[in-house]
Structure formats: C-alpha cells, structure tokens
Amino acid sequence: MQRRDLLKTLVATTLATSAPSLSLLASPSSTGASASKKKVYPWKNWSGNQVCYPQNTYAPSSIDALQEVLRESSGRVRMVGAGHSFSELVPTNDTLLAMRRLNGVRSVDEPKKTATFYAGTTLGETGPILADHGLGLFNMPDVDHQTLAGAISTATHGTGRSLGSLSSYVESLTLVTASGDEVRCNANENSDLFSAAQVGLGTLGVISDVTLKGMDAYKLKRHGFWLPVEEVMAASDPLSKDNRHFEFFYFPFTGMTLVDTLNITTDAIESHEELDGNSGIMDLKMARDYLSWSPKLRELIVGGYLKTQVSMERVDHSYAIYANDRNVRFNEMEYHLPIETGMSALREVITKIEKDFPEVFFPIECRYIKAESAWLSPFYERDAISIAVHRYFEEDFLAMFAAIEVILQKHGGRPHWGKINTFTAAQCREAYPKWQDFLDIRQQYDPKGKFLNPYLEKLFAPKEA
Ligand SMILES: Cc1cc2nc3c(=O)[nH]c(=O)nc-3n(C[C@H](O)[C@H](O)[C@H](O)COP(=O)(O)OP(=O)(O)OC[C@H]3O[C@@H](n4cnc5c(N)ncnc54)[C@H](O)[C@@H]3O)c2cc1C
C-alpha cells in the first residue's frame, strides 16, 4: 500500500463507524470592485480574493513602451507582476500595467557576481541564467513564479537566519517615474530613493530593471523529517543556527511538525521520494471534512499517520530545490515577529486554532529571516521569525485571520506586505522608524498619487494628513 493511501484507509475505516461531516463555509471575499458600463475584462490574483475591472490594461515589452504609457495615461496606474499577492496592492479600475513581458537578462558581471534583469523576469527564470555564469541567488522563497519587481516590492523572503529577504540582495534598480523619466538608484546614487524602493509596494514608480547580488553557484541538500511540535519548538533556536535554511510546518490537530532544512553540499545530485505536498493537503482536507467533529480522534488518526512518515533527502542545484509547486490554492496571512517573542506567539496561535477553528487543515509555516535596512522591510533592523497561517481558497478566512492577527500584533509582528493584513497607517508609523521618510520620498516622486489605489491611499496619503 502506498504511504498516502494509508491515511485514506484509516479515515475511511473510521468513517464507517462514526459521525457526521463538517459543513464548510464557502464565501471568498472580494475587493468589492464592480464592472463599469464599458466592456472591461476582470483581473484577479492567484488565490482569487482580489478582483478588479481596469478600464485599460497595458503590457509593455520595452522601456520606451512603458514610458509612453506613463506619459499618456491619466488616472491611477497599478503594476502587476505574477499576481501572487493576497493583499490589496494591485487592484485598480483605472490602468493596470502587466509587467511580465518586460523580462530577461540585461547583463551579468561575473567578477562582481551581479546580474541585471528586466523587472518582469520571474524568480524561476533567473536560476538557469545565473547558473550559466557560475552564479546563484543567496536565497529564494517557496515558490518561484513571482516577478523580480513584484517580489522585492513586498520583501519576499525564504528562510535562513543569516539571510535577508530578496530586497536585501538588490544592488541597484531603475525606476520609471510618474512623469515617464528613468531614475537609477543604489547605495551611492539616489540612496534615499533606493532605501525606499527596495521595498516600495509599487508606490514610487515602475521598476524597469533590478541588479541582484549573487554568489558562486552551489548545490543544496534537503533533509525533511517529522517531529512532535513541542520538540521542534524547544530546538528551533539551535536548528535555526545550525542549518543555513531551517523552517517548519505545524499541522494543526496532529501534534506533528514537518521540519525542512537545506545546507550547501558538494554531494552529487540525487533525489529520493519527496512529500507530495499537493495531494497531501487534499488528504488533510478530507481528514478535516470527516474528523473535525472529534479533535482527539483527528489527532489519533492523522497525527498517528504523520508519525509513520520517514525522512526525505534530496540534493540539487540551489535554484532547482528552493521552490515547490503550490497547486492547491489558499489565502494567507503572515507576520514577522522578533525572535524573542516568536515561539510564545506560535504557541498562542496553535492554541487558538485548535480551540476555535476546527475547519483549519493547512499547516502553519514558521521561518527565520535576517535583519535588513530597506525602510519598509518588515525585517527593518530586526531579525525575525515569521508565522504564516492559511485557509483553503474557497473558505472564508476573515474570522480566523482576525483572531490570529490580534495575537501576532500583540507580540510585535509586522505583516508581510503581500499577504492579508489589516495594518493601518497609524500602526505602520509605530512599527517602522523610517515611515515618515518613506512618505516624504513617495510624495516627492509621485506628488499626484498616480501610483495609489484606495488601499495604498489610506496608508500613504490619508485624507486627514
Ligand atoms: C503560492 C504563493 C507562495 C508564496 N510564497 C512566498 C514565500 O515563500 N515568501 C514570501 O515572502 N512571499 C511568498 N508569497 C507572496 C509573494 O511572494 C509576494 O506577494 C510577491 O510580492 C508576489 O510577486 P508578484 O510578482 O506576483 O507581484 P504582484 O503580487 O503582482 O505585485 C506585488 C507588488 O509589486 C508591485 N509591482 C509589481 N511589478 C512592479 C514593477 N515592475 N514596478 C513596481 N512595482 C511593481 C505591485 O504593484 C504590488 O504592489 C507567496 C505567494 C503565493 C501566492
């Protein structure tokens, strides 16, 4: 019997002797945008929780075309990369700039280990290109479909206590401003603009290219193994220091955790069986559907099954191993907390979910990220533990995320800009020491608010300000 069939059999056997299934909530939220009378085509993001009806959509494939759109468009303009953000950053009913066609490598400087890519290049596309030049990125997140500009604009990160977000590896970037002019910025040239634009949420201009710092190409060895959650929480500090990359996924109502470590290796490339995350998630959903009426039984069956799982190993090129497929859609909230408060917050989050939200079946993901200097990075001058919670895309996440967000904010968390959160301008001012500097530079580069949508306007240019 295949290992994942074992869980199905266990659940089916239990079902034959047990109780009713849980009826599910199914009301995905929307931005409230509505179609205008002109024939327009809707845009929606990866999970489908953000929708808008732009009057105009442009997909420039050259800098000239991009400049022309900016010079000639009136009204608001928002940029979209791969549409992988869950928050309200992208939607606009005016002009949507789809940046994916502006992609590819501009230049590589092998001695300096830097490479300049057009902004719409995806993270996944950078891997083989850099490898051809003997280079690799320092770190990557757990999917690689995001565009470079989209990823850095929200401080997209992977895991690694000694590694910052992607924004921290930007050496310089070029912005095309509201007036259509190009401005280059880095630590020496327009340095304030650079500190703002490293994590700029698309509010300063359109990023046309990004120069990334890389390192010599390398291979990674993945080691994934299962442990009871209490053991992982007790050992998370040394595990995060002893491994280049360390993260863990706690599976609610099971007591069990999947630990994932990655370390640089010179071993030959080889792959063993990997966890099939997507079908695994649907199995957890099935277990939830039938067993959530009895948390004890659920822990016994699903936790017991997870205890039978063996460890996994794989060696591959760095760019081929970081990212996974995420074929089961979800909505996500993630907060970045000080290292000191991270584990207490996690304990509270687990207790809350297991007490009040039996519908949850997605794991809670915990990662480590190093402090950095971009003004609006959630890792600004602070090492962090990130805690992310998910809900299946067809389910209402509002009540659960609201309950968890209170806990994460109480423990000093700053939200991931690309994920669902309710952080206000006042909270941003308190959480980000450079908030006012960012407001000033945004005002300087986009005085008319061309790059603001209603969400961003509330944050960056509230009417009372
Ligand atoms: C399945 C999935 C897995 C994920 N995994 C991770 C993860 O492991 N780690 C993590 O940190 N996050 C993760 N995320 C979140 C994701 O990385 C961020 O939301 C990221 O910003 C998305 O990039 P994108 O190219 O889709 O940008 P979009 O979501 O399209 O846009 C994001 C922001 O960038 C702006 N933007 C886009 N292009 C430009 C441009 N050329 N110039 C200026 N501004 C621009 C947009 O206006 C917007 O403000 C994940 C999301 C999903 C759906």
Domain boundaries, the chain: 43-98, 105-216, 219-415
Query: If you ran DSSP here, which 8-state letter would residue 434 be given?
Result: T
**Residues within 6 Å of ligand 1 by CB:** 46, 78-85, 89-90, 99, 119, 141-143, 146-147, 149-151, 153-154, 156-157, 201-202, 206-207, 326, 416, 418
Lowest mean pLDDT among 19-33, 130-144, 330-344, 401-415: 19-33
Instruction: Work out the percent of the chain whose per-residue pLDDT is above 70.
Output: 90
Ligand 1 atom with least separation from CA of 157: 11
pLDDT of residue 383: 98
**Residue 18 clears pLDDT 60, i.e. is over it:** no
Q: What spacing in Å lies between the alpha carbon of 160 and ligand 1's midpoint?
A: 19
The edge-to-edge listing of strands for the beta sheet with 56-58 is 56-58, 95-98, 77-80
- Residue with the smallest CA separation from ligand 1 atom 52 is 84
Gap between the Cα atoms of 51 and 144, Å rounded: 22
Ligand 1 atom with least separation from CA of 154: 21
What CA–CA distances, in Å, run from 353 to 349, 388, 401, 407? 6, 13, 10, 11
pLDDT of residue 270: 86
Q: What spacing in Å lies between the alpha carbon of 105 and ligand 1's midpoint?
A: 19
For domain 219-415, the CATH superfamily is: FAD-linked oxidases, C-terminal domain (3.40.462.10)
DSSP structure string for 304-358:
HHHHTPPPEEEEEEHHHHS-----S-EEEEEEEEEHHHHHHHHHHHHHHHHHH-T
Lowest mean pLDDT among 175-179, 211-215, 272-276, 376-380: 272-276
- Residue with the smallest CA separation from ligand 1 atom 36 is 150
Gap between the Cα atoms of 4 and 154, Å rounded: 36
SS3 category, 83: coil
Instruction: Please answer whether residues 22 and 293 qualify as being in contact, where contact means their C-beta atoms are separated by less than 8 angstroms.
Output: yes
pLDDT of residue 276: 60
HSE (side-chain half, CA atoms, 13 Å) at 235: 14
CB atoms within 10 A of CB 210: 28
SS3 category, 11: helix
Gap between the Cα atoms of 68 and 72, Å rounded: 6
**Residue 120 clears pLDDT 50, i.e. is over it:** yes
Q: Which amino acid is at 70?
A: L
Tell me the CATH number for domain 105-216. Answer: 3.30.465.10
User: pLDDT by residue (tens digit) across 329-361?
Assistant: 999 999 999 999 999 999 999 999 999 999 999
User: pLDDT by residue (tens digit) across 444-453?
Assistant: 999 999 999 9
As a whole number, mean pLDDT of residues 227-241 equals 98
CB under 8 Å to 451, separation ≥6 — which residues? 76, 77, 78, 79, 178, 202, 203, 204, 205
Give the confidence band of 280 by pLDDT, cuts at 50, 70, 90.
Answer: confident
Predicted structure pTM score: 0.92
Does 105-216 match 219-415 in CATH topology?
no
Work out the end-to-end distance of the chain between its first and last CA atoms, rounded to an integer number of angstroms: 64
Ligand 1 atom with least separation from CA of 102: 41
